Every structure is written in C-alpha cells, then in structure tokens.
Amino acid sequence: MKKVIAVVALVFGVAYSVSAQDKMMKGEVSTISLEQTPGEFTQKQITVSEGTYVFEIANNAVGHDVGFVLVPKGKDISKPENHIQTAYVTEVVATGKKQTSKPTKLAKGEYVYFCPMNPTATDNALIVN
C-alpha cells in the first residue's frame, strides 16, 4: 500500500516521506555528508533522527588527506576505544575527493566529530533525536 501511495504522491507532486522508525524497521541507511576545508568542518552541528547512517566526507582543498572520527559526547576523544569505528571513512580522503564510512547505527544522544589529520575543532556536534 505504501508503494502505491508513494507513486501516487510522485505523480501528483505531493511530498511523501517515510518516518525514521519505518526506515529503521526496513534496515534503510541514510547518508550524512560533511565537508572539510583547511582547519575545519563546514558543518559545526547536525541533528538527525535515530537510525543507520553512512558518513560521506568531502575534502575541499585541504591540501592533504583527511579522515573522520565520531565519539559519544563526554568520552575521551584521544582513546581509540571510544571511537565509533564503523564511522571511520574506509579510505583516507584525498584533496578534491569523497569517501564514505561503513553503515553506523546511531542511538539517541550526543556525539562529537573531528578529523585527526586536519586540525579541526573537537566540539563539532552530532545530535541524534
């Protein structure tokens, strides 16, 4: 029934969206795209719904390879055991390129993200509702 509604909605130009809970139940994965420039992420705070995400990291003229680290807020970011390792990009990101992480399930809460190779702030916030 939902597929029929989606098709009808598209034909008539009506927006149709699946709730975050429906996406989780179906095992769907969404993408969170982040861009790094010299010394910073262009997005300082992101708010998303609970679910499974792939992080897509773009290197916009940093001048060297970059990476991505996600840590639950309040945990020591210098300890790799606190990193959410599935959120690491699968390859370092060269200048002018993009790379993605593995699918990462995010529970409600707050997280911080940073790049260990591009001296970005360590207080960029990812909030999961």
CATH code: domain of residue 60: 2.60.40.420
Per DSSP, the three-state class of 31 is strand
Let me know if residue 118 belongs to a domain.
yes
- What predicted TM-score, i.e. pTM, was given to this entire model? 0.79
Overall average pLDDT of the 20-42 stretch: 81
How far the first Cα of the chain sits from its last, in Å, is: 28
Let me know if residue 16 belongs to a domain.
no
Q: Which residues of 19-55 are buried (b: 16+ CB within 10 A; e: fewer)?
A: ebeebeeeeeeeebebebeeebbeeeebeeebbebbb
The residue segments making up the domain with residue 84 are: 28-128
Let me know if residue 19 belongs to a domain.
no
Give CA–CA dist 127/18, Å, rounded.
20
Question: Which among 88, 80, 95, 78 is positioned nearest to 36, based on CA atoms?
Answer: 95
The domain total for the chain is 1
Overall average pLDDT of the 38-64 stretch: 97
Confidence of residue 4 (pLDDT cuts 50, 70, 90): very low
Where would I find the beta strands (DSSP E) of 14-92?
A: 29-37, 40-41, 45-48, 51-59, 69-72
The predicted pLDDT at position 56 comes to: 98
- Which pLDDT tens digit goes with each residue over 81-110? 999 999 999 999 999 999 999 999 999 999
Count of positions (residues) in the chain: 129
